[in-house]
Structure 1
Amino acid sequence: MNPPTESSPLESGDNLDGQADELRQEIARLRATKAKLQQEQSDLSQSIGNLVSETLGELERRRQALQVEVEKLERRRDRIQKEMRTTFAGVSQDLAIRVQGFKDYLVGSLQDLAATAEQLDLIPEAQDTPAPSSSPAAPVSPEESPDESPAPQFTPSAFQEQTQQIRRIIDQYRTMPDYYGPPWQLRRTFEPIHAKQVSNWFFTQGGRGAMRTMGSRLQNILVASATVSVLRTLYDDRLRTLVLANSPERLGEWRRGLQDCLGIDRRDFGPDRGVGLFEDPELLAQKAERLTGGGWLPFIIIDDAEEKISLSLLQFPLWLAFAPDPQAAQSAADKF
């Protein structure tokens, strides 16, 4: 067996130098790897930062866009709710007025029909009815047949005393309104513009003519009520007011308006009572002829919704027609 050989000092130094070189190379590689990893980490951090920034920006833009859309939807919701409240309230009120007007007209018509039926003689006369005696007929009382008198004229030269009375009544309505007066007396505030219209109808038009609408049916009813009240003061129960309107709703408004302004009730409405309501001008004209033949004094009121006035109505001594405002009619025509 050979004994171990001992390495020389020179060979040991070379080994150490080789190991040192390997260590230095390894350290260099590790440093390079470290630098590469640090660079990759930096790039990754930057990429993540850019991605987060872009994502946050996109989310912020989407949030702002959604906020704008939400605000638009809220404004639209508020507008729709407002329109619904306004439109529904308006339609409901208009529908309620129409229904109530038709109800009033229908109830009044049924009451008039019942009253007329009660006055009919439904029992047939016996065949052996004795012939009437030759004795003179009993005089008719004034209540059964009103006295016939000439057609009214309201010119100052014709009836000076009546003219003064009419002016006095109109002034009283204008300056001293009585809200709790007797039936057929005006119970509402009477402005100078209303007094001017009524005076013009009496003294300029002589109780026969048209006047421009006052702007609303309620205002027209007020003027017509004042006219009825004056005529009622002059002619008492002999006056019969006949109102013409082309729908049950409008007749219902006239019924309520006259009741309110004159303090009358349903018992004063009917074909043979103080106020008659008509949709057909020919039927109204026939009724006015019968009243005139019986000694009554018909006063015809024509609603402003009537486009034409029947010539058969112009033969009577007292009529008042409300004419539509031409400017309003033109504006309505322009819309179409």
Structure 2
Amino acid sequence: MEQTSEDNHDLNEQLTKEAELFVDTWFDESKPLQEDDAELHPSVRDEVQQLKELKSQLQQEITELKAHKEQLLLNQVREAQENLGRMIEEGTKELRERKTALRIEIEKLERRQERLNQEMRSNFAGSSKELAIRVQGFKEYLVGSLQDLASAADKLELVRTGEPAPRSRERIRDLEEPRRESREGREGRDRDRTRNRDRNPRSNEPARTGTRTGQGNRSAQAQFSEPTFADQSRRIRQLLDKYCNSPDYYGSPWQLRRTFDQSQAKKVQDWFFSQGGRGAIDSTGSRLQNILIASATISILHDLYRDRTQVLVLTDTPENLGEWRKGLEDCLGISRPDFGTNRGVVLFDSPDILVQRAERLLADKLLPVIIIDETEEQLNLSVLKFPIWLAFASSNKSRSANYLY
């Protein structure tokens, strides 16, 4: 036990000596290190100083970059605002220009509407002095010529001579039999009428329809003079007054469905009472206005004679025929089934075919109502023998596109 204690004591002493020897050696070696640190300190200090300067430069550059960035952002924002303002100004300017153009266009349309309304009032009221002056001379010439022609036709004995043309031979074949049967009686009546005229010159003014039709059926010949047919005259005046003052826009078919002017009613009234339902009237210068006048005439005749009337319209071109079809449909409330060979209205572009059709209707104891468009410059003499015909006399004034108001 004692031996062990001694050994431990020796070991501790040895360790203590070794520790002291290590410390002494370390202190001896640290002296040159301190000397080296003293020699390197100025260079480190310079490097540190350079690093500080570099840091300051970098911080200054960062500050400048930040300021430059902010300036760029401000410039971009300002430029964007300027561009946006410019775009808004351009868009506003374009809208102003469009607004100005639209206002000018509206003013033009308003002036055009006012001009059209003025023309409508002028045409409807018949107050156009210039138009009246232009058509007056032609009216006097046409009325005088037609009166002379009617007087000459009254004195003619309408006896068919010669062979009919090949084109019309088939169309009138079915008319030959009734004509042959009534020819002797007709010739006898014509001779008696001629002798009566020679004895009394005033008898040259009888109703024209009896001589011109050459038919024995007087029930199909219309006379509208007031002393002879007071009831019909009264009914005609009532209908004209109704068309002018109380138009029925939703009436039954064959009734006038449009507004009728007093000047137009005056034309129809003169045609019925002064011309006996046979003659020409001045054209209004508008085909659709002429169709309106013809529609009023057709409506009155249909009211008087019902289904016995058949309207025969004569014009020169298919385009005009289409206008007449559309105008009659609008004014009378009729439809496509009312147009056809055996229907209420038949459209023709040849006067010869129209005459043949009218003769056939008279043979069937029906009443043909012949309407002649203003484009027909020459009136076919064969039309004068029928009981009812209405021709529109056109002036030399050039016609423009026509509208129904």
- TM-score interval (norm. to shorter): 0.5 to 0.7
- 2:219 corresponds to which letter in structure 1? S
Match of 1:295 among 365, 371, 386: 365
Alpha-carbon deviations, 1:103-127, whole Å to 9, x = none? xxxxxxxxxxxxxxxxxxxxxxxxx
Match of 2:231 among 137, 158, 161: 161
CA distance in structure 2 between the aligned counterparts of 1:259 and 1:241, rounded to whole angstroms: 13
SS at match of 1:149: helix
SS at match of 1:284: helix
Alpha-carbon deviations, 1:278-321, whole Å to 9, x = none? 00000000000000000100000000000101001110000000
1:228 aligns with 2:321: no
CA distance in structure 2 between the aligned counterparts of 1:263 and 1:216, rounded to whole angstroms: 20
Alpha-carbon deviations, 1:7-60, whole Å to 9, x = none? xxxxxxxxxxxxxxxxxxxxxxxxxxxxxxxxxxxxxxxxxxxxxxxxxxxxxx
Q: Is the 8 A contact 2:279 2:389 kept in 1?
A: yes
SS at match of 2:219: coil
Q: Is the 8 A contact 2:268 2:297 kept in 1?
A: yes
Judging by fraction of residues, say which structure has more helix. Answer: 2
Counterpart in the other structure of 2:343? 273
- 1:307 corresponds to which letter in structure 2? E
CA distance in structure 2 between the aligned counterparts of 1:198 and 1:161, rounded to whole angstroms: 17
Match of 2:278 among 199, 208, 214: 208
1:248 aligns with 2:330: no
Alpha-carbon deviations, 1:249-303, whole Å to 9, x = none? 0000000000000000000001111000000000000000000000100000000
- 1:235 corresponds to which letter in structure 2? Y
SS at match of 2:251: coil
The CA deviation at 1:161 is 1.1
Match of 1:261 among 301, 321, 331: 331
Counterpart in the other structure of 2:354? 284
Matches within 5 A, 1:90-239: 149-239=219-309
The CA deviation at 1:238 is 0.2
The CA deviation at 1:150 is 4.7
Match of 1:311 among 366, 374, 381: 381
The CA deviation at 1:151 is 1.0
The CA deviation at 1:148 is 6.7
The CA deviation at 1:159 is 0.4
CA distance in structure 1 between the aligned counterparts of 2:227 and 2:386, rounded to whole angstroms: 21
CA distance in structure 1 between the aligned counterparts of 2:220 and 2:253, rounded to whole angstroms: 26
The CA deviation at 1:152 is 0.8
CA distance in structure 2 between the aligned counterparts of 1:193 and 1:212, rounded to whole angstroms: 12
CA distance in structure 1 between the aligned counterparts of 2:301 and 2:323, rounded to whole angstroms: 22
CA distance in structure 1 between the aligned counterparts of 2:218 and 2:325, rounded to whole angstroms: 28
Unaligned runs of 5+ in 2: 1-216, 400-405
SS at match of 1:218: helix
CA distance in structure 2 between the aligned counterparts of 1:192 and 1:170, rounded to whole angstroms: 9
Matches within 5 A, 1:15-30: none
Alpha-carbon deviations, 1:67-118, whole Å to 9, x = none? xxxxxxxxxxxxxxxxxxxxxxxxxxxxxxxxxxxxxxxxxxxxxxxxxxxx
The CA deviation at 1:233 is 0.1
**Percentage of pairs with the same residue:** 56
Counterpart in the other structure of 1:141? none
The CA deviation at 1:222 is 0.1
Counterpart in the other structure of 2:43? none
Q: Is the 8 A contact 1:187 1:261 kept in 2?
A: yes
Q: Is the 8 A contact 1:209 1:320 kept in 2?
A: yes
- 1:244 corresponds to which letter in structure 2? L
Query: Which structure has the greater CA radius of gyration?
Result: 2
CA distance in structure 2 between the aligned counterparts of 1:271 and 1:292, rounded to whole angstroms: 15
The CA deviation at 1:214 is 0.9
CA RMSD of aligned residues (A): 1.4
- TM superposition outliers: structure 1 runs of 4+ over 2 Å: none
Q: Is the 8 A contact 1:148 1:295 kept in 2?
A: no
